[in-house]
Amino acid sequence: MNTNFRQKQLLKATEDYIKAYFENEGSGHDWWHIYRVKKVALQIAKTEGGDIFHIELAALLHDLDDWKLNGGSKVSKTFEWLSKMDVSEQDIEKVLEIIHEVSYKGAGVPTPASSLEAKIVQDADRLDAIGAIGIARTFAYGGNKNRLIYNPAVQPENHDSFEAYKKTNAPTINHFYEKLLLLKDRMNTQTAKELAEKRHQFMEDFLEQFFNEWEANF
Ligand code: ADP
Ligand code: NI
């Protein structure tokens, strides 16, 4: 489906709003994360299909109400924004559904995506969580939350509830085992599965080097 003029205007206004909102975000969820997720999602949609208006709008708004960033607020800024912009009820419902299904909730918690659009935005968000950028974002997040880089005494956990996953204060290296290394096998689309391979291998190589340096194995 080609996006029409009204849709283009709305996407531009949303992009401006999100750009300003996330400009100075310091935990790896800044505007450039949103920019990359949008770009990768539209790239995946070229081969996988899907409604690109819903995909782009959801990609732009996907972190606005994220639990990690909103301090536990119950007010949906996404809903407020879309209502203010006179988006149809049907479109709002669809975009909120996609966003609701995007987020990772722990190694043992399934996160099924019910539409092709949700599958694509989830894949794009998860591709930005792995590889070189994934590593950079993860340490930015850990620093932002005052976490240790690594502590061999703290073992990674297999969180079986979203509540347990949210509570962790573990060192940043643990996040590789609790999320990042698991994402390759949780991609939805064939396109994202293929894109994930190289980024996954890069993280494996990084960790091997990291532990060698940690133990002075030259
Ligand atoms: P999701 O909604 O799937 O969590 P986000 O776009 O909100 O995806 O980004 C999640 C990213 O935030 C992670 O991939 C990682 O870089 C960072 N992050 C989240 N939790 C942690 C953590 N406990 N330690 C280190 N980084 C984290
Ligand atoms: Ni995100």
Report which ligand 1 atom has the smallest distance to the Cα of 174. Answer: 24
**Cα dihedral angle (172, 184, 43, 119), rounded to 10 degrees?**
-100
Residues 6 or more apart in contact with residue 165 via CB below 8 angstroms: 104, 105, 106, 107, 109, 159, 178
For the Cβ of 175 lying below 6 angstroms from any atom of ligand 1, the answer is yes
Give per-residue pLDDT as tens, 26-63: 999 999 999 999 999 999 999 999 999 999 999 999 99
* pLDDT single digits (tens) 75-126: 899 999 999 999 999 999 999 999 999 999 999 999 999 999 999 999 999 9
- Indicate if the pLDDT at residue 154 is higher than 90: yes
> Would the CB of 159 count as within 6 Å of ligand 1?
no
Q: Could you say which ligand is closest to the alpha carbon of residue 35?
A: 2
Best residue among 67, 123, 141 to mutate for probing ligand 1, ranked by most atoms within 8 Å of CB: 141
> Domain holding 53: CATH number?
1.10.3210.50
Retrieve residue 123's tokens.
Answer: 């894949």
Burial class (CB in 10 A: 0-12, 13-18, 19+), 213: exposed
- Split into its structural domains, the chain has a count of 1
> What domain range is 77 assigned to?
3-214
pLDDT score at 171: 98
Give the Å distances, CA to CA, from 198 to 25, 122, 126, 132. Answer: 28, 18, 14, 10
State the pLDDT confidence band at 71, using cuts at 50, 70 and 90: confident
pLDDT of the residue at 200 = 98
Q: Is the CB of 35 under 6 A from ligand 1?
A: no
pLDDT at position 1 over 60? no
Confidence class for position 2, pLDDT limits 50, 70, 90? low
Is 106 touching ligand 1 by the criterion CB < 6 Å?
no
